[in-house]
Amino acid sequence: MNRPNPATDPCSLARGLAEVGDWWSLMIIREAMYGTRRFSDFQQNLGIARNILSDRLNKLVERDILRKVDAGEHGTRFEYRLTDKGRDLFVVLTALRQWADKWVFQNEPPFLLVDRISDRPVQQVQVLDADGQPLKLHQVAIAAS
């Protein structure tokens, strides 16, 4: 890691990646979004090594993406639950999921994200301008804030 120190990089993207841009971290977050909360469930569902899982869970707790909660009366079992910050990654993961639906599965993905109530697929995530018009990459710029 000789990245131009991600923790002080002024680019939000780099800083965001420094917090969650790691395969296992993102898989753990996905798993948490599916409802998984226990160490051994993460371990079995993901097939991840226990030391790596332990390390990633600790980092995600440090970064306030997961919260470690006492479950069961006597403090020997725990649950890892998404915080608001963690839940807010939903849109990021959804955008990536849709990208892969389109480009990896050629628009024929095995699973679809649907609205629980109507059971209809969610819309394609987009970048919109202030008037609600879709924007392409070449139509945007980075401005000092």
19 binds a second copy (CB under 8 A): yes
Of residues 42, 37, 35, 34, the one with CA closest to residue 113: 34
Nearest distance from C-beta of residue 46 to DNA, angstroms: 10
Q: How far apart are CA 70 and CA 83, in angstroms?
A: 15
Helix axis angle for 12-20 and 23-33, nearest 10°, is: 80
Q: How many residues bind a second copy (CB under 8 A)?
A: 81
Question: Looking at the DSSP assignment, which residues form a beta bridge with residue 128?
Answer: 134
Q: Does 61 bind a second copy (CB under 8 A)?
A: no
Q: Closest CB to a second copy among 77 and 126?
A: 126
The amino acid occupying position 20 is V
Binding-site partner at residue 107 among DNA, a second copy, none, CB < 5 to 8 Å by type: none
Site for a second copy in 82-101 (CB under 8 A): 82, 85, 87-101
- 20: helix, strand or coil: helix
CB under 8 Å to 33, separation ≥6 — which residues? 82, 87, 90, 93
Among 9, 33, 39, 67, binds DNA (CB under 7 A): 39
Q: Say whether residue 24 binds DNA (CB under 7 A).
A: yes
Residue 78 contact among DNA, a second copy, none, beta carbon within 5 to 8 Å by kind: DNA
Check binding of 33 to a second copy (CB under 8 A).
yes
